[in-house]
């Protein structure tokens, strides 16, 4: 449920930020965030910290997959 909560909020926020600030910087930020949070989750020994990491992973997923897909479509030649 934590992942889907992060995904829900990410889908409301990140596409708008991608339109405002650019999709490439948001894609890079989401990829780096996902990598760091995944490493933190692997080393986590606390349940609450793990839930926070999983929620942030949901946020990063919407940045990588939704904004990243839109960015990929934009840079592909016709």
Report d(CA 39, CA 44) in Å as an integer.
9
Instruction: State residue 70's pLDDT score.
Output: 85
Residue ranges of the chain whose pLDDT lies below 70 = none
Q: How far apart are CA 74 and CA 61, in angstroms?
A: 19
Q: What is the pTM for the complete model shown?
A: 0.84
Other C-beta atoms closer than 10 Å to the C-beta of 62 total 22
What is the per-residue pLDDT for 12? 92
In the numeric block, the tokens 């339109």 are attached to: 19
């Amino acid at each position: 449920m934590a992942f889907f909560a992060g995904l829900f909020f990410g889908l409301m926020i990140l596409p708008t930020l991608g339109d405002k600030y650019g999709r490439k910087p948001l894609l890079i930020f989401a990829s780096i965030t996902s990598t760091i949070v995944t490493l933190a989750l692997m080393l986590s020994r606390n349940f609450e910290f793990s839930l926070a990491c999983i929620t942030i992973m949901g946020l990063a997923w919407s940045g990588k997959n939704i904004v990243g897909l839109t960015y990929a479509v934009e840079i592909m030649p016709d």
